[in-house]
């Protein structure tokens, strides 16, 4: 059936699902080859990694020599014996005391990773920022603006276990990020932690997740992402008039992605204690939300008032 269904893409053309999947697979293979070539040609990085590994091994050996062997609660030394008196082979058993089959969980994750992601758009105007990002990266997406499209794509996923539909604002993939070295990655992690504390305090949202990434487009200051599973849960709740439930419950947490290449984001990272930083944080959050979903009436009122205040500062 899917061979005869046509979808409208970002260019306004109509293509079938197999055609889209074929293009996505070709693009992913090209990205994998490019990444592999980058790894083999970067000799300096490899040599540095080898040096780090050798140092870590040396430290581990020194630690093992100075510290006694660790034993588990049953009293056995599992370094020497694979099995202990409790009857479990801690190195080989598939199941642990928590009754989870970790090998099965791992295989499920592998199956999910192998699925081809089919991106889609539900509102061309509201998600225009994400659409522009996709076009710049050369990634296509389907236009699915009708209410019936949501249960339809769920049925498509059930019929074909090799594909997974995902809205374009569900995640920021590596296609939109700059390649970062190990040193830069540590800086981004540190900035993410400091920005998380700052935004949670300013916005009063303790469960808000913050990530600082280097996006290729420096004009983009902030974007909001929500996983496909969480968004579908929210849609289901709205469908059954359950919108009054606790917004802090699992599945309702968005992730705010800040662009480290944007000058405004760089300003708040370097000037956390500035008098204007809280106002900028609130504005960055609302701008990201506007591209994600409509603001609530009170939030929109505050956004307009804040915008006027910012323009007054510029006029001084």
- CATH number for the domain whose boundaries are 1-35+100-168: 3.40.50.11260
Count the Cβ atoms, other than its own, within 10 Å of residue 28: 12
Distance CA 232, CA 242 (A): 13
Among 181, 179, 178, 169, which residue's Cα sits nearest to residue 141? 169
Tokens in use for 117?
A: 């992601």
CATH class of 180-315: mainly alpha
For position 24, what pLDDT does the model report? 87
Q: Averaging pLDDT over each range in 65-74, 145-154, 270-279, which range is the top one?
A: 270-279
Query: pLDDT tens digits for 20-55?
Result: 999 988 887 776 676 566 554 444 444 555 555 555
Instruction: State mean pLDDT over 68-79.
Output: 54
Residue labelled with tokens 């009170």: 298
Q: Indicate the pTM of the whole model.
A: 0.70
Crossing angle, helix 297-315 and helix 277-290, to 10 degrees? 130
Distance CA 143, CA 259 (A): 27
Bigger pLDDT: 316 vs 6 = 6
Max intra-chain CA distance, the chain? 77
Angle formed at CA 130 by CA 126 and CA 240, multiple of 5 degrees:
50
Taking a C-beta distance cutoff of 8 angstroms, is the pair 222, 284 a contact?
A: yes
Q: Which residues, listed in sequence order, are joined to residue 83 by a DSSP beta bridge?
A: 89
Q: How is the chain split into domains, by residue range? A: 1-35+100-168, 180-315
Query: pLDDT tens digits for 230-276?
Result: 888 877 777 776 655 554 454 457 899 999 999 999 999 999 999 99
């Amino acid at each position: 059936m899917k061979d005869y269904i046509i979808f409208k893409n970002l260019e306004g053309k109509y293509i079938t699902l197999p055609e889209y999947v074929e293009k996505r697979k070709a693009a992913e293979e090209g990205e994998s080859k490019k990444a592999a070539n980058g790894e083999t040609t970067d000799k300096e990085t490899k040599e540095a990694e080898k040096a780090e590994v050798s140092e870590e091994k040396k430290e581990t050996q020194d630690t093992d020599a100075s510290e006694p062997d660790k034993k588990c609660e049953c009293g056995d030394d599992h370094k020497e014996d694979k099995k202990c008196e409790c009857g479990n082979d801690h190195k080989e058993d598939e199941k642990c005391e928590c009754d989870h089959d970790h090998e099965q969980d791992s295989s499920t994750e592998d199956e999910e990773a192998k699925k081809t992601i089919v991106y889609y758009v539900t509102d061309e105007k509201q998600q225009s920022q994400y659409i522009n990002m996709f076009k710049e990266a050369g990634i296509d997406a389907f236009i699915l603006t009708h209410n019936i499209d949501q249960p339809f794509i769920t049925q498509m996923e059930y019929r074909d276990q090799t594909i997974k539909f995902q809205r374009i604002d569900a995640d920021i993939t590596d296609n939109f990020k700059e390649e970062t070295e190990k040193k830069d990655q540590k800086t981004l992690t540190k900035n993410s932690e400091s920005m998380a504390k700052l935004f949670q305090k300013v916005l009063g949202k303790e469960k808000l997740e913050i990530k600082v990434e280097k996006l290729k487009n420096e004009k983009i200051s902030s974007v909001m992402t929500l996983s496909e599973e969480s968004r579908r849960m929210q849609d289901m709740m709205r469908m059954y008039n359950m919108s009054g439930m606790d917004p802090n419950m699992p599945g309702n947490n968005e992730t705010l992605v800040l662009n480290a290449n944007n000058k405004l984001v760089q300003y708040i990272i370097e000037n956390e204690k500035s008098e204007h930083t809280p106002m900028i944080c609130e504005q960055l959050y609302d701008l990201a939300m506007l591209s994600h979903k409509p603001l609530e009436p009170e939030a929109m009122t505050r956004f307009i008032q804040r915008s006027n205040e910012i323009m007054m500062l510029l006029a001084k």
